Amino acid sequence: MTSSLPTMHSRAKLGAVGEDLAQAHYERLGYTLIARNVRTRSGEIDLIVWYQKVLVFSEVRTRIVGPVDPLESIDSRKVRQVRRMASAWLASNHAPRGTVDLRLDAVGVTVDASGALLKLTCLEGAL
């Protein structure tokens, strides 16, 4: 799957491309998108998806091809932030009917300069 970008210099555009690719990955696996780019007091949840009774909060990190893996940028502070955001969302929203488990995923997306997917790594329950 390729995405066309006017410029890769915009972090917002690069992030949106990565989120599109991560969302497509989840959907290929049968997940249903619940919400995307949800603002909370603690920050923004990139993706919330659901599959087989599991509600997943996903942090997506996107980089243009280079020496650094996108997942390396997720530190302990970010893990705490994602947990706070998930808790905040759950406090003000209903999980889909039948949800019995929660999971916090980290998705690393590497693209080339035109926005084409080179690598996607989804670490289930990593956060």
For residue 99 the two structure tokens come to 């949800």
Conformational region of residue 25, where left means phi above 0, alpha means psi within -120 to 50, and beta covers everything else = alpha
Give the angle 8-13-14 at the CA atoms, nearest 5°: 60
pLDDT of residue 10: 85
In a structure prediction context, what are the per-residue pLDDT tens digits for the chain, which is 127 residues long? Answer: 444 444 555 888 999 999 999 999 999 999 999 999 999 999 999 999 999 999 999 999 999 988 889 999 999 999 999 999 999 999 999 888 889 999 999 999 999 999 999 999 999 999 8
List beta partners, residue 64.
Answer: 111
pLDDT of residue 12: 84
pLDDT of residue 37: 96
pLDDT of residue 9: 59
Q: Which domains does the chain have, with CATH numbers?
A: 11-123 (3.40.1350.10)
Put simply, whether the predicted model's pTM sits higher than 0.85 gets the answer yes
pLDDT of residue 11: 84
pLDDT of residue 67: 86
Q: What share of the chain is helix, strand, coil (3-state, %, to 5)?
A: 30, 35, 30
